[in-house]
Amino acid sequence: MNVASYRQSINETLQAFVLQIEQFLEIFWKTIKQIQQELSQSTNTYSPIEFTDLQRTLFKVLLILLIFTAALIAYSWRVYGKVITEKFVRPSGTLGQGHALNAPSEPSGSQRKSNYKAYEPAKRKELSDEARAAAAAALARIETKDTREFNTSLAAIKAQAKRELEAERKIREEKKVEELSSEIEVRTNSTLACQGVFFRCPMISDDVLPKKEWKVKIKEFLYQQLENERALTSCLIIQNCNTREKAEECVKTIVKYLENIINHPEEEKYLKIRLSNRIFSEKVRYIEGALDFLIAAGFREIEIDNEGFLIWSTDNIEDGQDLPTLLEALKNAEPITLELERNIKVLLPSQANRVKLPDDFYRISPEEIKREQQMRSEALENAQVLKTKAMREREEQRVLRMYRYSLVRVKFPNGISIQGTFNVYEKISDIFEMVQSCLSDETLEFNLISSSDVSLTKTDRKGLAWKQLIIEDIRKCAETYPNIFVFQVQNMRNNLLKDLRKEWRQNSRFIFGKNRIMQIGLGRTKEEEAQNGLHKLSKRLTGQVGLLFTEKSKEEVLEWAENYWALEYARAGFIATETVELSEGPLKDFSHSIEPHLRSLGMPTKLQKGVIHLYKDYTVCEEGKVLNPEQARILKLIDKPMSKFHLTIKCSWSKTEGFELHKEDDLQNNDSGQGEEEETVEGMEQDDDDDDDDDEND
């Protein structure tokens, strides 16, 4: 009997048994129901066994459990009977060959035939890295031991295997190095003095991005504009999407093509370019934007005798363009410039200890690394040669070019530092401008001192020659412009005054300076005045005032001055116009790093789970009281402007109507040169001086 037939017979027997149990249960259940009905009908019948209610209930429960268990067994056998039979019931034929006690001895194990299945070893897993390395070493030993029977195909297979193993090993090493470098970079980022060098590009957008991201964004922007203006945009693509050397070579070659067509329009050889030409392939064909420019200039690709050519025709030039215009545009195209973002940060004393810079600050290229050894050997030779001062300066400049940018930190007397990013070729005046922009009162005078106690001066003080230029400039404007106004500035802001100068520069001129110099320019007496009646205007130059020379009418200027004003942040010494209170609770608009600075300003702050909280109500300022420096800084931090920048016209003079007073003032100090110490707008005087020529042309 085989195993399959035996299992089938067992299953049939068990199934018959299950059916009999089910039939028995059905008959038993029917009998129980009949007994229950008879008992209910004959309630007066005598029963030898009497049950209490509790016993009767327990009997019913046990009976129900018994029936439920039997039904569950029957159902389980029907579902899992085959599995139980296969695992736990073995047919008699598989128990081995029987023998009698007095039978001869069994044959040896090698002669016995077993009915069991042969053992199948488990499949081996893929070799590990160490096993592969060992296999490669074994192959190498075999090659060295037996070289008499050389098989070329076997050697090729072994060599290929070795190459693959070596390539896998290199890939693993590179991955480990990348993972290690990424971990090191993550660890070192927290210790860097800044996160990198960032730029702006006003021509594209107001985003602040690294240079690499700007290159991608500029390229996308130019290709988006290519459909609308192919000719001019392709010129910019050539300059911005290729290296400087490739762009210059490409422009020279295309300029030569176009000049030949312009100078020799009838010669056919200049009207076509062979695509397979070596110079064209190297310098033009694979330069981004070059083919687009040639297409806009009138070239079209045509195949002649199975060879590609670019053929020029006047009919193919874009509408509204001609070759001389395109040639001039190609010559004058320049790369889109990026503006360095200062990335100004306020640092606490603990944060100012970080001095490690990102890689963006260094100009290190593979070529320079290769030259490093050569430079060291040259240094040994140069140490033995006598040098002039010019030679030493050239060597110093060569060393300076190793750095792209500089991170400048300025420490204030209270321990707070500010830092900004500068190009290595920027001047000390740029540092002064950065510091001045960070002051709550931009009119304050300050000095910068280096770490070696060397005073850094912004510019040399202006002498008599400069003052004479201002006087001559005022007299020249008095002859040129028909109307002159003396205006008084309330809450001086240099940036707003500069904006006014740009807005009015087409037909007007603002002049600021020391009052005594402006008085001399207009004429302090009737005998000295530049124009008839200007000495009356000169007497009104007291306080913080300026001169406006304009071609606009008096009514226009008065109406503009009455309606013009701008809100600015209040400075120390300003009288508060309203009471500002901060309620207890979180200050979500502030970064957690500024909490010590807020506390130093007197605010009752604390950190809770990385968020700054006011643990009680705080009054920043009260209406009618003078602001101190701390209050002025807090108002700026919470974006609460209180100061109103405004111009008031004091008096005017015109060539037709003469002098007219618009606002009374005190003339007791009119001859004292009051305002000579007013230096708030002195920084703008040079701007006036620089723009003299432009204003005269206007």
Taking the whole predicted model, whether its pTM rises above 0.75 is answered as no
Residue 31 domain flag: no
Residue 373 domain flag: yes
CB 300 within 8 A of CB 365: no
CA-closest candidate to residue 473, choices 673, 697, 689, 679: 689
User: Based on the structure, what is the number of domains in the chain?
Assistant: 4
Which structure tokens are listed for 49? 């066994």
Residues 301, 330, single domain; the answer is: yes
Residues 519, 654, single domain; the answer is: yes
State the DSSP code for 151.
Answer: -
Give the 3-state secondary structure of residue 580: strand
Residues 331, 232, single domain; the answer is: yes
pLDDT mean for each 10 residues of the chain (698 residues): 70 77 76 73 53 76 85 82 70 52 51 47 60 73 53 68 81 72 51 75 86 90 86 90 91 92 88 90 91 90 89 84 87 89 85 65 58 66 65 63 78 88 86 87 81 66 73 88 89 78 85 86 86 86 88 88 84 85 86 81 84 89 88 86 84 89 61 34 38 37
Residue 534 domain flag: yes
DSSP for 200-246, written as a single string = EETTTEEEEE-HHHHHHHHHHHHHHHTTT-HHHHHHHHHHHSS-HHH
CB 491 within 8 A of CB 644: yes
Other beta carbons within 10 Å of 100: 6
Residue 644 CA to residue 104 CA, distance in Å, equals: 125
Provide the CATH number for the domain around residue 518.
3.30.70.1730
CB 254 within 8 A of CB 327: no
Give the 3-state secondary structure of residue 206: strand
φ/ψ (deg, to 5) at 498:
-65, -40
Residues 364, 220, single domain; the answer is: no
The single-letter code of the amino acid at 5 is S
Helix (H), strand (E) at residue 252: helix 244-263
Per-residue confidence (pLDDT) for residue 426, from 0 to 100: 87
Residue 77 CA to residue 17 CA, distance in Å, equals: 11
Per-residue confidence (pLDDT) for residue 7, from 0 to 100: 73
What separation in angstroms does the CA of 530 have from each of 72, 523, 676?
A: 123, 6, 21
State the DSSP code for 283.
Answer: I
Residues 549, 515, single domain; the answer is: yes
What separation in angstroms does the CA of 491 have from each of 513, 646, 680, 682?
A: 17, 7, 11, 16
The single-letter code of the amino acid at 611 is V
The single-letter code of the amino acid at 44 is N
CA angle 332–241–244, rounded 5-degree value: 60
Other beta carbons within 10 Å of 480: 13
CA-closest candidate to residue 576, choices 648, 490, 644: 644
Residue 171 domain flag: no
Residue 59 domain flag: no
Provide the CATH number for the domain around residue 294.
1.20.58.2190
Residues 266, 308, single domain; the answer is: yes
Per-residue confidence (pLDDT) for residue 536, from 0 to 100: 87
Residue 490 CA to residue 492 CA, distance in Å, equals: 6
Question: Which of 640, 674, 690 finishes a domain?
Answer: 640
Residue 685 CA to residue 679 CA, distance in Å, equals: 10
Residues 241, 264, single domain; the answer is: yes
Residues 538, 607, single domain; the answer is: no
Provide the CATH number for the domain around residue 608.
3.90.105.20
Residues 231, 303, single domain; the answer is: yes
DSSP for 369-385, written as a single string = HHHHHHHHHHHHHHTTS
Residues 347, 445, single domain; the answer is: yes
Domain ranges, residue 370 = 342-381+400-454
Residue 47 domain flag: no
Residue 258 CA to residue 312 CA, distance in Å, equals: 10
Residue 198 domain flag: no
CA-closest candidate to residue 598, choices 575, 577, 618: 618
Which are the contacts of 624, defined by CB distance < 8 A and separation ≥ 6?
575, 576
Residues 444, 485, single domain; the answer is: no
Residue 413 domain flag: yes
Residues 610, 547, single domain; the answer is: no
CB 231 within 8 A of CB 294: no
